[in-house]
Structure formats: structure tokens, C-alpha cells
């Protein structure tokens, strides 16, 4: 069995959201223990991960240094965090598992004509006073006035089109490696008319990219691990109901009715549906601590292409 495990950003920080180096290392070691349980079943495993807090830290450094040096572009921030988190995961999984592990800095191609580039709307980083935001605007960034909270940067969030380094992931899997790849949704790149690839300032949703990567490498199972036990309809109400096994069409119906927030559960549900609709056997949405149970069908929301109650 070939399994792709997508770790949420909460897996890379302490329970209270701190992202100091020691917090990140401890959180990754915890996640690695759960992934090692899946590896121990003999499955071929690929791990991808979020990088929001880590990129946020780099953006703060950009802002503080902006009066002196130009800010590092967002695709570079993605590459740097892939390297750092890949290194930490590499150490933790090597310690927890007997299988060889490889971390791959990988790229995701997006469409240069994606409407997100014309109308950037994905907020990133912290709020700044107007005078500090203007320094960043003068460096070519797009910022919006958010009223009393201050100004905040917005960037494009284009659809992932192709995981360019999926063949390398597949080769490493075939050689017996556990592979870490596609962190933060992949480094966003576009292909120009002459065939040249170049990085762009954008954020790709990590769960949507996980679904794309999973199908590109022939994974049969996608596990989306976060801080909740399952996808829930009626969240926050007296009628809240966690979903067990559900078909993609039914799940899309709940999404259309507004049950899943756009910035949290919404992308996870969309990714799970895409994965099974494009040939994957099962997609699970579960808590980090129950990854192995979810793979065995004993925890979380299990999404299949077709399911009738």
C-alpha cells in the first residue's frame, strides 16, 4: 500500500502555537511517532506538511530588515522552510523508523493566468501599521487596509497544476525510502513561453497539493491529519455530527451547504474528494494522534468515491 500523510501546521508547533526551534522539534518528534506506526505496517509512505508558522517567521524578518535589504520573495521562503522542516522530519523519522528517509525540496507548477494573480486575496503574515506596510508596498508587495487591526499582506493562492518532482518521489519510494516532499504546497513555479521555470509570489494550499501529489505517485490512501478527529457537519451547534464513512458526492453536498469553513476544514474536504474522484481508494481526515487507526479504518472521516448509507 502506498500512503500519503499530510500533516497540518499544528503538527509543527507546540500546542499553544509557539514556533521556537525547540517547540518545532518536539512537535515533529510527536508526529513522527504516529507516522512510524504506519511505516511499521510495511506501507510505502510519503509525508507532506504545512509551513504557515515557519513562513510567518521569515516574513517578520523580511519586514524588520526591509529598510536595509530587499525582502526575500515568497517562493524562496517556501524553499527555505521545506529545507528546514525536511531536515527536522528527516531526523525524527530516522530515529523512529528503521527505513531510510529522504527529504526532497520540491516544486509545484501553477498557471500564470490563474485568476488569483490578478486578484490576490490570501492573507499572509502579521498586521502592520500603515507606515510600516508602505515600506513593503514600495518593495512591490500588495497590502490591504484591514481597519483597526492595521494592514495585512495578500498574495495569490493559485490552483496546483502539476507536482514537478513527483517522478523523483516515486523513484525514492521504489528504492525503499520514506519520502518527505511537497511541504507547504510546494514551491510555486510557472513555466514561461520559452519553457523556462521561475518561482512566483504565491501560496498553494497544502491539502489540495497533497491530493495532486498523491495521485501523481499512485498512492491509494491519503491521510489528512490535523487537530480535529473528523470532518463535522453543524460544527459549533447543538446538532454537530462527526462524519464517519462518506461518499464524495455526499460530502460535496455538505460543503455546498456551508458546513466547512473556507480557511480550515473546507480545503481538507475538497482535497479528500478530489483524491478519490481521481482514482484514489480512500481519503481520511483525522487527528494527528490517530493516523494509524484512520488508515485501518477505525478513526476519522473516511471518504470514498462512492458510498451509500
- Which of these is catalytic: 8, 86, 184, 206? 206
Is residue 268 annotated as a catalytic residue, yes or no?
yes
Is residue 306 annotated as a catalytic residue, yes or no?
no
Do strands 282-287 and 221-226 pair parallel, antiparallel, or not at all (unpaired)? parallel
Angle, vertex CA 21, rays to CA 20 and CA 23, nearest 5? 65
Is residue 9 annotated as a catalytic residue, yes or no?
yes
H helix intervals, 156-236: 166-174, 206-216
d(CA 170, CA 57): 32
Q: Identify whether the C-beta of residue 172 lies closer than 8 Å to the C-beta of residue 179.
A: yes
C-alpha distances (whole Å) from 22 to each of 9, 93, 148 are 16, 17, 34
Cell representation of residue 22: 525547540
For the sheet with 143-145, list strands across it: 122-128, 151-155, 143-145
Cell representation of residue 292: 494509524
- Which of these is catalytic: 56, 91, 122, 199? 122
* DSSP assignment of 59-73: HHHHHHHTTTSPPPP
- Which of these is catalytic: 10, 51, 62, 209? 10
Sign of CA dihedral 13, 14, 19, 20: negative
DSSP state of 11: G
Is residue 150 annotated as a catalytic residue, yes or no?
no
Q: How far apart are the first and last CA of the chain?
A: 26
- Which of these is catalytic: 51, 268, 280, 300? 268
DSSP state of 202: B
Q: Identify whether the C-beta of residue 283 lies closer than 8 Å to the C-beta of residue 222.
A: yes
* DSSP assignment of 31-57: HHHHHHHHHTTT-EEEEEE--HHHHHH
| Residues labelled as active-site residues | 9-10, 122, 206, 268
Amino acid at each position: 500500500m502506498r500512503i500519503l500523510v499530510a500533516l497540518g501546521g499544528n503538527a509543527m508547533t507546540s500546542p499553544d502555537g509557539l514556533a521556537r526551534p525547540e517547540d518545532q522539534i518536539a512537535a515533529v518528534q510527536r508526529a513522527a511517532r504516529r507516522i512510524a506506526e504506519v511505516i511499521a505496517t510495511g506501507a510505502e509512505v510519503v509525508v507532506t506538511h504545512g509551513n504557515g508558522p515557519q513562513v510567518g517567521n521569515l516574513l517578520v524578518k523580511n519586514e524588520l530588515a526591509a529598510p536595509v535589504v530587499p525582502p526575500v520573495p515568497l517562493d524562496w521562503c517556501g524553499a527555505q522552510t521545506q529545507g528546514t522542516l525536511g531536515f527536522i522530519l528527516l531526523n525524527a523519522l530516522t530515529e523512529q523508523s528503521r527505513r531510510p528517509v529522504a527529504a526532497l525540496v520540491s516544486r509545484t507548477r501553477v498557471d500564470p493566468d490563474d485568476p488569483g494573480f490578478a486578484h490576490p486575496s490570501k492573507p499572509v503574515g502579521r498586521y502592520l501599521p500603515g507606515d510600516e506596510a508602505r515600506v513593503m508596498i514600495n518593495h512591490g508587495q500588495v497590502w490591504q487596509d484591514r481597519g483597526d487591526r492595521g494592514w495585512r499582506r495578500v498574495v495569490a493562492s493559485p490552483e496546483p497544476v502539476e507536482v514537478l518532482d513527483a517522478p523523483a518521489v516515486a523513484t525514492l519510494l521504489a528504492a525503499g525510502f520514506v519520502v518527505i516532499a511537497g511541504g507547504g504546497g510546494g514551491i510555486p513555479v510557472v513555466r514561461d513561453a520559452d519553457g523556462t521555470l521561475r518561482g512566483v509570489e504565491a501560496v498553494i494550499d497544502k491539502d489540495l497539493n497533497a491530493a495532486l501529489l498523491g495521485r501523481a505517485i499512485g498512492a491509494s490512501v491519503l491521510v489528512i491529519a490535523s487537530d480535529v478527529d473528523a470532518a463535522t457537519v453543524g460544527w459549533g451547534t447543538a446538532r454537530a455530527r462527526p462524519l464517519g464513512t462518506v461518499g464524495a458526492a455526499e460530502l460535496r453536498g455538505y460543503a455546498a451547504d456551508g458546513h466547512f469553513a473556507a480557511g480550515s476544514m473546507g480545503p481538507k474536504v475538497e482535497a479528500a474528494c478530489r483524491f478519490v474522484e481521481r482514482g484514489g481508494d480512500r481519503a481520511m481526515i483525522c487527528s494527528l494522534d490517530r493516523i494509524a487507526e484512520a488508515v485501518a479504518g477505525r478513526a476519522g472521516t473516511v471518504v470514498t468515491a462512492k458510498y451509500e448509507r
